[in-house]
Structure 1
Amino acid sequence: MAHIALPPGHIGIRGAMAFRPETARPMNDLVEILLTGPSTLTKGERELIATHVSNRNRTTFCHNVHGAIAAAHLGGNEALVQQVKTDYLQAEISAKLKALLTIAGKVQQDGKLVTQEDVTAARNEGATDLEIHDTILIAAAFCMYNRYVDGLGTEQPNDPDLYRERGKRTARDGYISSSAEYLARKN
């Protein structure tokens, strides 16, 4: 049960966004830019970064929904998403993404833990400064989103089919369209 009276029928961050919709747009704009905008990282790779951070923060809604979106972008490869959540260093992903996930994991703990050596290691695997920047911003933003969801005690079901359906729709339509459609249906 949520810590404050959130509108009924909304799960995860959707409940918080429905409570204060004027904050939903800028949050969705940021996630839209970071996860679906132009980038040399694929949408699937960026979703894996969001999933990795959300899983480390133990935010059920966020790691499940972003894991489902990542899987949708990765041809339905739920096993890869699960491997990234449990042991990304052994996952069949690029060395560059592993280096970026290391940075993201440090940001999740404390941004000051990121070292020049971490950045150099990512660059040595081919990461650009923009990719490093965006990885850090994705990790920082998802710490905020995770704390928002968990701090309000939002409803976070454990229904894989719900997340699969949502993940496919968001992968297809993006965050702003999916969020507007969702909130319009629920209000």
Structure 2
Amino acid sequence: MGILYSEPICQAAYQNDFGQVWRWVREDSKYINIHDGFNGDTPLICACRRGNLKIISFLLRRNADVNLKNQKERTCLHYAVKKRFTFFDYLLIILLMPVLLIGYFLMVSKTKQNENLVRMLLDAGVDVNAADCYGCTALYYACEMKNQTLIPLLLEAHADPSIRNKNGESPLDIARRLKFSQIELMLRKAS
């Protein structure tokens, strides 16, 4: 289930196997920024795809390069922003919602985790306006996902709401098109 990687450290980062990640880094520090043979993901990108905070924090402390890109020209920030609840998360939230609002708290906690992840990457100096092979920035994806918790963080880090992708669409255009009036307001204030 999920993605398979040719580099063992990338597989370990994706699967949240901290022990393995630590072992590879201890063996040779070059593994920190190694690009996987399949899609060019780095261990940091792999960990961000899954939101594995402990591994992300470890890699950042070991000076993993937050601005390295994979074959789709995406940085770890693109994946941190695109991270959605898993089917299992949704199932738990739905099943636990009637039980003392546990589902609600689980949802809030997962959202907070994602917020912390994005904040960690921004603090580490990730290029907030890096565009992928489609010309999309992290802000673009945050708007597309109507992620009202991450958009202010990205704007605070000077994400540019006027950058257009290869189809000529900006985050502001998305907010207008999808009729996200609150987000549109946030983006207008920022530009």
Say whether the fold is shared (TM-score over 0.5): no
TM-score, with structure 1 as normaliser: 0.26
Q: TM-score, normalised by structure 2?
A: 0.26
Structure holding more helix per residue:
1
Structure with more contact order per residue of length (Cα contacts < 8 Å, sep ≥ 6) = 1
Greater Cα radius of gyration, structure 1 or 2: 2
